[in-house]
Structures are given as structure tokens and as C-alpha cells.
């Protein structure tokens, strides 16, 4: 299952150096999730403490476990949005097939 996730990082009183240390841990975890295939796309929004990602997980439960327990800065995240998404090519195929309807 694919999910689009919009993360916002709130430094909650971290010093500047603490913020960079926590971001470093987070980048290592995120890139590890990319290598493991759990994150299929990830982007940092320029000029903001915001990250956009597409996660490929087996269930909503797994996504919750990853976000709440697997991210180093989980306690400093505000999840702005989580949306189930699908591959556009599969949608295009459905359109071509008229959602399986007979013409």
C-alpha cells in the first residue's frame, strides 16, 4: 500500500546544534528506509522544516508503527497529512478499460 505523508518538524526548544544532530539521525533513518524499499520517494521542502514522502507499507498499521516508533524525531513531528495513493499508471489502465465496464 502506498501512502503520501507530509511531515513537519517542530524543534520544540532544541538548540541549533541539537536540531542538526537530530536531523542527522533522521536522515540516516530515512535513507535506510529508502534502501529497504519502505520509502519510494522522499523530498525536503526548501526553506521549511518539512518532508514529503511516499511510503510503501503492507498496512496502515505498519505505517503507524514506522512513524510513531521508527523515526528518531517522532516526538518532534507533526503529521500534516497522510493519504493513501496509487500508481498513476494503474489508474490510467483503469481509465483505458473504463473501470471494467463493457463499451
102 has a pLDDT exceeding 60: no
User: Per CATH, the architecture of 2-100 is what?
Assistant: 2-Layer Sandwich (3.30)
Please give the full DSSP string across the chain, using - where no structure is assigned.
Answer: -EEEEEEEE--TT--HHHHHHHHHHHHHHHHHHHHTTSEEEEEEPTTSSEEEEEEE-SSHHHHHHIIIII-TTGGGEEEEEEEEE--HHHHHHHHHTGGG---
Q: Indicate the domain borders of the chain.
A: 2-100
Instruction: Give 55-92 pLDDT, tens digit per residue.
Output: 999 999 999 988 887 888 888 989 999 999 999 999 99
User: What is the per-residue pLDDT across 22-65, written as a single tens digit (0 to 9) for each?
Assistant: 999 999 999 999 999 999 999 999 999 999 999 999 999 999 98
Amino acid at each position: 500500500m502506498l501512502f503520501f505523508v507530509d511531515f513537519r518538524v517542530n524543534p520544540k526548544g532544541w538548540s541549533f546544534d541539537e536540531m542538526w544532530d537530530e536531523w542527522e539521525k533522521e536522515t540516516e533513518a530515512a535513507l535506510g528506509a529508502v534502501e529497504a524499499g519502505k520509502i519510494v520517494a522522499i523530498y525536503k521542502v526548501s526553506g521549511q522544516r518539512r518532508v514529503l514522502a511516499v511510503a510503501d507499507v503492507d498496512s496502515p498499521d505498519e505505517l503507524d508503527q514506522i512513524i510513531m516508533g521508527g523515526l528518531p524525531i517522532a516526538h518532534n513531528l507533526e503529521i500534516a497529512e497522510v493519504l493513501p495513493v496509487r500508481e498513476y499508471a494503474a489508474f490510467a489502465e483503469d481509465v483505458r478499460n473504463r473501470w471494467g465496464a463493457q463499451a
